[in-house]
Chains A and B, each alone.
Chain A
Amino acid sequence: MFKKNVKAWLYLLPAILFLGVFMVYPLIDVLIYSLEEGYNSASQSYHGVGLFNFSYVLHDPYFLQAVKNTFVLVIVTVPLSTILALFISLGLNSIKPLRHMYQTIYFLPYVTNTLAVGLVFMVLFKKTPYSEGMVNLLLNWFGASSVDFIDGPYWAKMFVLCFYTIWVVLPFKVLILTSALASVDEHLYKAARLDNTPKWRMFTKITLPMISPMVFYLVITGFIGAFKAYSDAVALFGTDLNAAGMNTIVGYVYDMLYGNSGGYPSFASAAALILFAIVLTITCINLLISKKHVHY
């Protein structure tokens, strides 16, 4: 039996080796770290085994702040970006002239570097002793007072982070949804038109159900992506996210390992596992809902 399959195993070996070394082993290691209490990376020793790391992380105000930030980010950006992308794709689908130009423009953010975009957003939003920032100038022009979006109140910073995230994830969603819309059989619309179907009903009864698999794909990957957000916050608020109060769960994990307060792989592992549990739960819920509402 084994002899017969030896060639097959041989072919699989490189993949198994890489996956084992870089995926499976670290995953198990994370689990072990998270259970080792008082682990010291210098001496590689620990006092005991238990759930203290989880308890510590769950009581850490920085972690709670990070969880709150992450959830706000997820709840605001995923639905908003999906709905926005849907409207933009519908618009793109219904115009003929310059359609390709618009498609290109909408796709630009996708190929732009995160940090470069972060810099642009800094210019737009940051208030310095020398300048108010573009957005504030606009606000002033409308008669509102300036807000410091980068170092100011929590809601302002959150607004910028959400704005930024939506702007970055939009192109991919627009791309997916425009192609999904284009693949809906036009005869369905013709048939509906002959039957005097109102525009809105065509959208809700034909378009949405027909593209529902793609919408749910975007929602699920959007949730996962938003839960893993980190670099966006860094691009906007710098590396000391705890001080800015804008840390995310992944940011917290990173800080626990390498940040200024770092050197605690056990805490980092515990936080990472908590994040994993959250993402898994949400994805399962998503899949359950999608079973009910996605056709085919």
Chain B
Amino acid sequence: MKIRLEQLTKKFPNRNKKQGEFVIAVNNFNFEIPDGKLIGLLGPSGCGKSTALNLISGLEKPTEGKIFFGDDDVTNLPPENRGVGMVFQNYALYPHLTVQQNIMFPLQNLKGKDKLSKEEMQRRALEAAKLVQIDMLMERKPSELSGGQQQRVAIARALVKMPRVLLLDEPLSNLDARLRLQTREEIRRIQKATKITTIFVTHDQDEAMSISDMIVVMKDGVVHQIGKPQEVYDHPTNLFVATFLGTPSINVFRGRVQDGQLAIGGENVLSVPGVPNRDVICAIRPEGFLLDEKGPFTLGLERMEVMGRDTSVVCTHEDGVSEVIRAIVRTDSVVDEEKETVRFTLIPSKVHLFDPETEEDLPFMA
């Protein structure tokens, strides 16, 4: 099911009237989610992503704008008639019911011509349970399950009624790190298997990047960028998106473009043709630094951090906006830690320039 949002806005009355009449949780959303894709709604805490999800589910009514499922306008449809399955952050399993009863609960609500026989319900519940691999736990109560298992039950319950859209609100935040990795693969697998359009909300960019077909980056109720994870990572439209995506996060410097040369701290570090002479904010991905004894960019050497897979060179720079500069280099790189400075060459595609005022991207020919 394709989902289209048109000028979707949600305002909440502000409790502290001094800060304005309304808090705008979702501000003028206009985008389309293609059918059968997994979409990550990504943003820092309090940016309105859960509100956006609640609007799509119908649990919240929009202040303005429209929501379409396919060609149906569902804006005024109550949540129960939208055919959405939702997994809540705390799973919201019925604690007094067994796994099987939990999964069957939505089916037992079907009335009239959709009414199912008991055998049919049990068959469908088992099918959903098998999909999320909890079919051997059907007689347990939620309190007898681990967090990951509860999560699966919640997904099975959302899937069993074959929803048109599956919504996941911070589905992984209650799991430990290892389980999180495992479960996100699981969500990806289930989504691929069912081909149900799925939207999930997360503040964890790793999570969103790794499994989404498309990510929507938002902040303060405003969508900043929509696109394939790699595209958004490689071509952030503004400074916020650039800093929000990627771990370790992008390194930000104050710089100046003069005669097609990017200067940071008096050194011409990169040639950036096509940008007029001006002050810029320059953001460089950690993997954009190449160790080079004759490189143009000199940084103060702080220490080396060994991570196993690769090595971080932790540096400082007087024009750095970020407190420390982190460059990721290969583990076999040789850096003389006795020295006070280290020199790099930059990879042009990993360098992004932004307007210091608007923080919008300034493209240059690499």
Contacts and interface: CB of A to CB of B under 8 A. Distances in A.
Interface in B257-302: none
A196 B109 contact: yes
Contacts of B105: 192, 195, 197, 205
Contacts of A209: 94, 96
Contacts of A187: 88, 90, 92
Nearest to A294: B96
A294 to B, nearest CB: 9
Contacts of B57: 194
Interface string B84-121: 11101010101111000000011011100000000000
B145 interface: no
Contact of A191 (B82, B92, B96, B108): B92
A185 B86 contact: no
Nearest to B105: A195
A160 B97 CA distance: 42
B50 to A, nearest CB: 12
A209 B157 CA distance: 19
Contact of B59 (A190, A198, A206, A295): A190
B348 interface: no
Between B84, B88, B157, the greatest number of chain A beta carbons within 10 A of the residue's beta carbon is seen for B88
Interface range on chain B (Cβ under 8 Å from partner): 20 to 34
A13 interface: no
A209 B85 CA distance: 24
Nearest to B143: A296
Interface in A215-258: none
A190 B109 contact: no
B96 A194 contact: no
A195 B85 CA distance: 8
A185 B79 contact: no
Nearest to A209: B96
Given A193-B80, A196-B81, A188 B92 contact: yes
A295 B79 contact: no
B161 interface: yes
Interface string B29-64: 000000000000000000000000000011100000
A195 B88 contact: no
Between A193, A198, A201, the greatest number of chain B beta carbons within 10 A of the residue's beta carbon is seen for A193
B95 A194 contact: no
Contact of A194 (B80, B110, B143): B80
Nearest to B78: A193
Contact of B90 (A185, A206, A296): A185
B81 A194 contact: no
Nearest to B163: A194
Nearest to B154: A191
6 contacts: A185-B92, A193-B80, A194-B80, A206-B94, A210-B95, A210-B96
Interface of B: 57-59, 79-82, 84-86, 88, 90, 92, 94-97, 105-106, 108-110, 143, 157, 161
